[in-house]
Chains A and B, each alone.
Chain A
Amino acid sequence: MSLPQHLSYSKDHEWVDLGDDGVATVGITDYAQNSLGDIVFVELPKVGTTVAQHSNVGVIESVKAVSDLFTPVAGVILEVNGKLDADSSILNREPYTDGWLFKVKDVSSDQLDTLLDAAAYEKLTAE
């Protein structure tokens, strides 16, 4: 799966898509889903929660392991992807589209300066 060029990435293997309205959509990368293996459960933050950048906001569980989920941006949780409750394998199949995790509002664009662009993330995962 090729890496979407327009997204920003964290070292924790999340991606961020920040809109002009200050709403950021967050997911995990293809590299992350592949490392985790078959995902069977996702615990997402509650809507309305204020979250700090890189804080732990939930868990992703594969058949074998529980992994912490971090948010790459600070803000207020606006929405979570309810489809993942019934079928968390979407995360394995479509990590950059239907498998998005949550949306954060009131995200300042300068937060993206602390994240990686596609080229830098590709380099990180190639190491």
Chain B
Amino acid sequence: MTDATLKQTALHDDHVALGGRLVPFGGFAMPVQYAGILKEHDAVRNRAGLFDLSHMGQFILEGENVAQWADGLTINAVETMKPLQARYNIFCNASGGAHDDVIFYKLDGRWLLVVNASNADKMWAHLNAHLGDSGVKLTSLHGKNALIAIQGPKALAMLQPHVDIDLNAVKYYFCSEATVYGKKAVLARTGYTGEDGFELFVDGADASEIWSALLNDHAAEGLEPCGLGARDVLRLEAGMPLYGHEMTEEITPVQAGLNWALKLAKPAFIGKEALAAQIEADAYARIVGLVMEGRAPAREGYKVFLGGRQVGEVRSGSMAPSCGGKNIATALVEKDAATLGTALEVEIRGARHAATVTAQPFYKRPK
């Protein structure tokens, strides 16, 4: 199933050879699964999984004023970042809705900005439209550079023999310039699974060699190629928002429960007034976690009820292997339905199913 209009990542032939099931995602043909979502999920939680995330947008930002410029466009602080630090951030519109959620990596002499695949074109236009006289130079590596993630409790031990730095010295949400199998890479201790692990930003020309070598060297220890299906379950269990679901151009970071990333002390940024007003009024619908009773999964768009009244809708849902196989979900609900412990109902094919408002994350890795 190769659609000629879809772009292919540098690892396309590897996915085909591994029996990956390719689906359109963010303009690319991406593997949704290889051996199966549950098997891949198990690998990441107990051993390690290898992901191709080359569809994500990689932009390089250069110039003396990058941090100051980016602070005017984002809700979290950029200027306070330390060398080689990574930081989650969100670009908002003037109404406080989210253009995209991203990660900034402060490298030596330049910044790496990673945006969602589905938002890459929109974000490229947004950044360029706001360059003004900032002197910031933007370069897109989207589709040229590759991104390979190795995630799971054994990720560090598997990766260590093949890199020229001490991985234990790279703290969570920090990065380093290094080599992997002798190839240049930016190596970051970030991820989207709720497990420890690393993301390797490498040249597309080197990606297949690194990917194959890791699989060859560590398959016996349980390293599995993993697709976007497993990644979505892993991130939902770990309480991590997915753009287009928990956050959109309409659903603000405040509604998504991301106030920890909102720095209202910054002098000015797009969306600041709207977000401050939303917090002040405190009347907004908000994202909550739900744990369902019964075996029917809640899916995006299903209606949520409190008593007889519809109070919102499901935004993400899945069976959660790390939560005893229960069905979990996120829902956008009115304020009075959002208190922890509130008994709600989700309508599934005309029948109401019990659900309880539950704190996120649903899963936390053992320390």
Contacts and interface: CB of A to CB of B under 8 A. Distances in A.
Q: Do A and B come from one complex?
A: yes
Interface of A: 37-38, 40-41, 43, 59, 61-64, 66, 85, 88
Contact of A59 (B32, B38, B229, B349): B349
B33 A41 contact: no
A47 B163 CA distance: 61
Nearest to A42: B295
Nearest to A88: B295
B229 A63 contact: yes
13 contacts: A38-B36, A38-B37, A38-B38, A40-B297, A41-B296, A41-B319, A59-B349, A63-B37, A63-B233, A64-B37, A64-B229, A64-B232, A66-B299
Contacts of A64: 32, 37, 229, 232
Contacts of A40: 295, 297, 319
Contact of A61 (B36, B37, B232, B296): B296
Contacts of A62: 37
A112 B319 CA distance: 37
Nearest to A40: B319
Contacts of A41: 295-297, 319
Interface in B286-313: 295-297, 299
A61 B37 CA distance: 13
Most central of A59, A62, A64, A66 by chain B CB within 10 Å = A64
Nearest to B33: A37
A59 B349 CA distance: 10
Nearest to B325: A40
Nearest to B32: A64
Interface in B1-50: 32-33, 36-38
B318 interface: yes
Given A59-B349, A63-B229, A37 B37 contact: yes
Contacts of A43: 296, 349
Interface of B: 32-33, 36-38, 229, 232-233, 295-297, 299, 318-319, 349
A76 B112 CA distance: 63
Given A37-B33, A41-B295, A61-B297, 14 more contacts: A37-B37, A38-B37, A38-B38, A40-B295, A40-B319, A41-B296, A41-B319, A43-B349, A62-B37, A63-B233, A64-B229, A64-B232, A66-B299, A85-B295
A3 B57 CA distance: 44
Most central of A59, A63, A64, A85 by chain B CB within 10 Å = A63
B315 to A, nearest CB: 16
Contacts, number: 33
Most central of A41, A59, A88 by chain B CB within 10 Å = A41
Contacts of B299: 66
A85 B295 CA distance: 8
Contacts of A63: 37-38, 229, 233, 318-319
A122 to B, nearest CB: 20
A7 to B, nearest CB: 25
A64 B317 CA distance: 9
Nearest to B228: A64
B238 to A, nearest CB: 16
A22 B38 CA distance: 39
A-B pairs, top 5 by smallest CB distance, nearest first, are A40-B319, A63-B37, A38-B38, A41-B295, A64-B229
B295 A37 contact: no
A56 B233 CA distance: 28
A59 B233 CA distance: 21
Nearest to A85: B295
Nearest to A62: B37
A41 B297 CA distance: 8
A43 B297 CA distance: 11
Most central of A37, A38, A41, A88 by chain B CB within 10 Å = A38
Contacts of B229: 37, 63-64
Contacts of A59: 349
Nearest to B233: A63
Contacts of A37: 33, 36-37, 229
A56 to B, nearest CB: 11
B44 to A, nearest CB: 14
Nearest to A63: B37
A102 to B, nearest CB: 17
Nearest to A38: B38
